[in-house]
Structure 1
């Protein structure tokens, strides 16, 4: 790709979803990691090549990063990207497969130099800052598994009756994404997914944190010492037991507003077309979701930093 075309892609935020400054930070951060892993793969081969031997790359790392960003932002097919960058389709597939995991491992950026990569780090961050967290699950449509596969029915969502995978999203009170979990089959219930991620143990043994959730997480409040606040169960709308009155009144005030905030955060994620309907391999969904969450949070942090008065 020529320098003029590369500059046009970097200069227009609508193409990649992130600004030129963020792309420069990504190149400086991920470039050395990609080169290190590439050299490690070459060193692990049975047949060793001399330094500098072998075919030369036609797609430099900056172009590999740009191709991955365009693919995540617009769900552009590998064939189209191959024509755009002037390489073979397999080169684009290999480039995206190498860069996407590196983007996923970065975690979500909540401040300059502050990253949250695990759910435990998110709980500690909320406890240290005194902020309220909001959790919700979202589903992403995927291709139907092949006939005869034993876990084929596991991907059918009970809510939307379609093949999907599910991820749990954690945001703060302003709707900024703090964490996206690895993808699970669509038949997994929201509360089951939260338990499998260890949320109950983290809240029970961790700092005093308040988490807002919707009706799909009813039952976590009793297991976490009322740290998870959900709407009241329909059988408790009238004549609720004494022990549930306080939680019920708090839920009525806080969960509707919290639900809107987390939906806004999920909507910002779904603006990246790779999450509207995934047509690729389902095995890549966890890296895709976490990579987009990291890019979105990085751009949101950069926008907030630049908007603050000096």
Structure 2
């Protein structure tokens, strides 16, 4: 009797297909961006066509598929998949709107206020003192802080650079000179209690950032202040929808790459998210 000790999946391994929960519009957009880049740099040959590369990149970003798994199923090397993903992320991040242009667009469309909030993107814990700044005492985990602006419907307009998790939301906004740019555009922002103290301008001037009231130990909130907080919470609820759309990309579940790459990643996902929502 002859023994067969070979692997059950055979020499080429098992390959399965899965549905990508994205629209063809997003796939065609990314494929067009990649084709334009290949034409610009004069690249005559790639292992796979631009449409297939776009599908692989979206699988990594949307479903957090491992590059090694996708490489085995498409007949390319793992480093090739990683290079394609970084290339596509860089191309998309360059198309993300800047803060001043996003505010001018709101003014042109007749908007008067934007919604302001921050979120923490979890990262893998690393050893050494260099990673201590990424630990967030508020969330009790390692991550990167990202500030975002949305319109009154919750559509993402702009995202900031990814900063260490120990940074406060007010500090991140001051790095981007957010209040000054809001005043220059003639807009106001509605934010939660974490942004109290951000707008420290003349008390007689109209506030650029509107927040609720925070109770103190010896100063409870009045009934009017509670009603004001409730009204502001209802107005700023759509900003949570914007973050929910952004975090549908599972690659943000826990960023395992260099945190310096997270800024380009978030801005690239902003472009793709707006494509998905706009359809």
How does the TM-score come out when normalised to structure 1?
0.75
Distance 2:61 2:142 in 1: 20
| Consecutive unaligned residues in structure 2, runs of 5 or more | 1-14
Runs of 4 or more consecutive aligned structure 1 residues displaced over 6 Å after TM superposition: none
Backbone CA RMSD of aligned residues = 2.5
| Consecutive unaligned residues in structure 1, runs of 5 or more | 40-51, 108-116, 240-244, 303-310
CA apart distance, 1:276? 1.5
For the residue of structure 1 that corresponds to 2:172, the secondary structure is helix
Give CA-to-partner distance per residue, 1:131-150, whole Å, 9 cap, x none.
22111111111112332x4x
Bigger helix fraction: 1
Of 55, 59, 82 in structure 2, the residue corresponding to residue 66 of structure 1 is 55
Distance 2:50 2:195 in 1: 43
Task: Show the counterpart of 1:48.
Answer: none
Distance 2:170 2:27 in 1: 37
Distance 1:277 1:104 in 2: 19
Map 1:1-310 onto structure 2 (within 5 A): 15=20, 17-37=21-41, 56-107=45-96, 117-131=97-111, 132-147=113-128, 149=129, 151-204=130-183, 206-223=184-201, 225-235=206-216, 252=229, 254-302=231-279
CA apart distance, 1:92? 0.6
For the residue of structure 2 that corresponds to 1:103, the secondary structure is helix
Contact 1:146–1:152 (8 Å) recurs in 2: yes
How does the TM-score come out when normalised to structure 2?
0.83
Distance 1:89 1:237 in 2: 58
Contact 1:18–1:295 (8 Å) recurs in 2: no
Contact 1:230–1:251 (8 Å) recurs in 2: no
What is the number of equivalent residue pairs in this alignment?
257
CA apart distance, 1:27? 2.2
Distance 1:194 1:139 in 2: 14
